[in-house]
Structure 1
Amino acid sequence: MLKKIITLCIICILLAGAGLFYVWNQLDGYVNQSVKIDEPTLVTIESGTSFNSLLNRFEKDGWIEPSDFSRLLRRAHPELTQVKAGTFQVQPNLTLKQTLLDLVHGQQMQFSITFVEGSTFKEWRAMFDEAPHLIHTTKDMTEAEIAEALQIDREKLEGLFLAETYHYTVGMSDLDIMKRSHTQLNRVLEQYWGQRQDKLPLKNAYEALILASIIEKETAVPEERPLVSSVFVNRLNIGMRLQTDPTVIYGMGDKYKGNIRKRDLQTPTPYNTYTMYGLTPTPIAMVGEEAIAAAVDPDDSKYLYFVASGDGGHVFSKNLRDHNRAVQEYLRKLRARK
């Protein structure tokens, strides 16, 4: 009798072991199956999503084959269950286990948007509209409404954001990036304004920002920025009009069709520095750090004029006679290229 009992117990143990082996083998096959995606794919996990719901989603999307034992995965592999909320990029050629580990330990997918120096707020808004995975909260807002939302006490937002690359994750908004960019601009502007040269013809940091925006629009050559700045500072010091074309273009707005005519130079606008003295009332573009640095630390020069060289840079002159010669040389180069 005892022998039969022992035999029965052994059989039960063997059956149980066989059952556990079968279940474990099924789970192992389930967790080590390949995820069926052919290219890097974004997956967004909402806050509060359960582990089983995530597996069901993968099965429904055809990424993995279903299993009757999938609900046991939580107990067998608890290290796979602590997936984080957010948006992640799932890579192809991975197993389900590797994919889940990436969702547990990986970094959220980041996107970027780059604003170049000299771009305008109008151009920024268009870029925000095209940015993927970004919430467009300001799309139907006026500039004044955006300023109020950002707690900026100015009617125009031109120039009040620092031109550089900004990274964001899914769920962030264009307003979030504007806040960060405005904070960055204030930090950089405050730093350089505190290091400014003595006796600059600038009343405050905002005027330095205006000058920086004009410098930004006049040259894309980094080493020229301090020289361009010196020309404008020299003109301001002697009460000479700045006479810079980008301010005319900005003042023309949508009327600008690609070229400036003589009557455009003679038509007064709040931004036409051919008809007005001093700086424009606001910046005319977004700036980078280098333009701000040049505005508050211009080169020590006697230059009052500059014109394009025709080779990518500019020719600087101290008097009108030399400037006119440089203009004629520039026009000669243009004619030779036709």
Structure 2
Amino acid sequence: MRWWKVALMAVLLMALIVAGSYGYWRYRMQAPIALEQSRVFEVMPGSGARQVIDRLAEQGIIDHRWPYRVVGVLEPQQLRHLRAGEFRLQPGMNAHQLLAKLSSNDIVTYELTIPEGWTLDRMRQRIDQTSRLAHDTRGMSDQALMEALGHGDQQGEGRFFPSTYRYHKGTSDLDIYRRAYARMQQEVQQAWSTRHEDLPIDTPYQALILASLIERETGVPEERARIAGVFVRRLERGMRLQTDPTVIYGLGEAYDGSLSRADLQKATAYNTYVIHGLPPTPIAMPGRDSLRAAVNPADGNSLYFVARGNGEHHFSATLKEHNAAVRRYILDRQ
């Protein structure tokens, strides 16, 4: 056999081998990965493609490493943009879909909910106990937290908007505070821009303080504007606000679950049975509805309210009517 025929056969054989190998590689890349159920896989920060492939194999997500290493030769762009983070992988994904997922922005996110009416202390406890966050603020004083946010000249109470915040593993808790602070700033300004004329409050911060009182007093959402009306009319007349939540806030850890006559007479900066006007800071984090109620109170003539015991309040225009309501809803039930 002539040499050129031998060479031709060798070339053809090599071509067949290459074509077969390529076809098998394509087959492996299209085959489903070795997952029977959904699971989360984490790409660690600083991991290279080889390390990611090794961890996928070690965790039983892929059967073989070699098809992915071939990707680095034939289609290297698929391995250049792997992202750090947690990714939820699904059964039935093929290798291309797997690599696309690990290169995407589709990182697993979690939710953190801060309810309306919580204090900053409760918010900080919740965040400190939340898993998967980077707890960069744990152990900071409230003042140090505000300084870290760039607002060291402000008190932190009431400055953070109660809502649900999404985050991914490794997010700094400072990012949650930063977003909540910015959101409250936005909500306060939006509410203030719609304020009723001739309110007895002069600044958005006073509106925030008033909204916090409304938030803590409201058991039924529909009553927010009516409670706001009572507070506004009392402020206009120079009457003390006389709202129990401010007394409780002022007592701090000394509050034992019930208010005594001595508590109502105890002089603190927050005891609105003693001081005139608003307390010096908010006493909680108000939601949007309380912010809007604070600057758009309901019309009326009521100056008092007392809890009925079912979440609602009885509103009164005179002290005589109020005292009768107190006897009916509180004293007669004791």
Question: What's the TM-score, normalizing by structure 1?
Answer: 0.89
Displacement of 1:228? 0.3
Tell me the alpha carbon deviations over residues 21-74 of structure 1, each in whole angstroms, 9 at most, x when there is no partner.
145425633662533464421413425x33222111212333323344542123
Query: In 2, are the aligned partners of 1:196 and 1:296 still within 8 Å (CA)?
Result: yes
Report the 3-state secondary structure (helix = DSSP H, G, I; strand = E; otherwise coil) of the residue aligned with 1:213.
helix
Q: Which amino acid aligns with 1:189?
A: V
8 Å CA contact retained: 1:27, 1:73: no
How far does the alpha carbon of each residue in 1:241-300 deviate from its partner, in whole angstroms, 9 at most, with x for none? 111010011011011121111211111111111111111011000111111111111111
CA distance in 2, matches of 1:42, 1:302: 61
Bigger mean CA deviation after superposition, 156-165 or 245-254: 156-165
- The equivalent residue for 1:64 is 62
Query: Conserved in 2, the CA contact under 8 Å of 1:310 and 1:333?
Result: no
Cα distance in 2 between the residues matched to 1:135 and 1:37: 31
Residue equivalent to 1:277: 276
2:5 matched to which residue of 1?
A: 6
Aligned residue in 1 for 2:162? 163
CA contact (8 A) 1:30 1:67 kept: no
Deviates more, 1:6-15 or 1:53-62: 6-15
- In the TM superposition, what are the counterparts of 1:124-203 in structure 2 within 5 Å? 124-154=123-153, 156-203=155-202
Does the CA contact (< 8 Å) of 2:43 and 2:52 recur in 1?
no
- Structure 1 regions of 5+ residues with no counterpart? none
CA distance in 2, matches of 1:317, 1:99: 66
Contact 2:240–2:272, Cα closer than 8 Å, also in 1: yes
Which residue is 2:208 aligned to? 209
Q: Does the 8 A contact of 1:231 with 1:303 survive in 2?
A: yes
Deviations 1:146-191 (A, max 9, x none): 1111121445310011111122223321211212211121122122
Report the 3-state secondary structure (helix = DSSP H, G, I; strand = E; otherwise coil) of the residue aligned with 1:147. helix
Q: Distance in 1 between matches of 2:281 and 2:302?
A: 25
Q: Is 1:113–2:112 an aligned residue pair?
A: yes
Say if 1:332 and 1:143 are closer, same or farther in 2 by CA, change over 3 A: closer
**SS where residue 126 of structure 1 aligns?**
helix
**Counterpart amino acid of residue 59 in structure 1:** A
1:221 aligns with 2:220: yes
Q: Match of 2:16? A: 17
**1:294 paired to 2:293:** yes
- The equivalent of 1:88 in structure 2 is 86
**What is the alpha-carbon distance in structure 2 between the residues aligned to residue 332 and residue 267 of structure 1?**
22
Change (3 A) 1:299 1:37: same
Partner Cα separation in structure 1 for residue 103 and residue 149 of structure 2: 35
- Mean Cα deviation higher: 220-229 or 245-254: 220-229
1:249-268 to 2 correspondences below 5 Å: 249-268=248-267
The answer to whether the Cα contact below 8 Å between 1:306 and 1:315 also exists between their aligned partners in 2 is yes
Q: 1:8 to 1:84 in 2, by over 3 A?
A: closer
Cα distance between partner residues in 1 of 2:112 and 2:66: 45
Normalising by structure 2, report the TM-score. Answer: 0.90
RMSD, aligned α-carbons: 2.4
Is 2:51 aligned against 1:53? yes
- Higher deviation after alignment, 280-289 or 171-180: 171-180
SS at match of 2:103: helix
Q: Return the letter of the residue paired with 1:85.
A: R
Identity rate, percent: 35
